[in-house]
Amino acid sequence: MSKQAILDSVVKDHIKGDRPDIRVGDVVKAHVKVREGGKERIQVFEGLVIAARNGGVAKNITVRKVASGVGVERTFPLHSPNIEKFEVLRHGKVRRAKLFYLRDKVGKAARIEEKR
């Protein structure tokens, strides 16, 4: 058995099949499990996907939102057990893979056109 076949057999158990197709430019809601003390709750983080790194089970997305006038970015591993679910609210029409230029934009200038 080759190294790749062994790796694939280990990884396939951890890939979540219920994840939607998330692309750069989409507005998503990430439902994250948060543990505080002995309790666990779901916290929702809604924002624009500005970057995605593909890599099978290691796929990550970076989500950005503006909260109280401050830009907040979080990186979510797509197949993490700490992620309850992702909801895609809008599909954005973008022409590049990384939207880091949006960090410098404010208000209407930071909008992304919706795909129809």
* Residue range of the domain that includes 94: 3-106
8 Å CB contact between 76 and 31: no
Q: Which of 31, 48, 49 is nearest to 40 (CA)?
A: 31
pLDDT at 84 over 80: yes
Establish if 111 belongs to a structural domain.
no
pLDDT at 64 over 90: yes
Establish if 116 belongs to a structural domain.
no
Establish if 115 belongs to a structural domain.
no
Burial class (CB in 10 A: 0-12, 13-18, 19+), 37: exposed
CATH code of the domain in which 74 resides: 2.30.30.790
Q: How far apart are CA 22 and CA 32, in angstroms?
A: 16
Q: What is the mean pLDDT of residues 23-48?
A: 92
Q: What is the mean pLDDT of the chain?
A: 87
Establish if 45 belongs to a structural domain.
yes
pLDDT at 44: 94
8 Å CB contact between 69 and 77: no
pLDDT at 96: 92
Establish if 63 belongs to a structural domain.
yes
pLDDT at 47: 93
Q: Which of 48, 54, 100 is nearest to 79 (CA)?
A: 54
Domain count, the chain: 1
Percent of the chain exceeding pLDDT 90 equals: 43
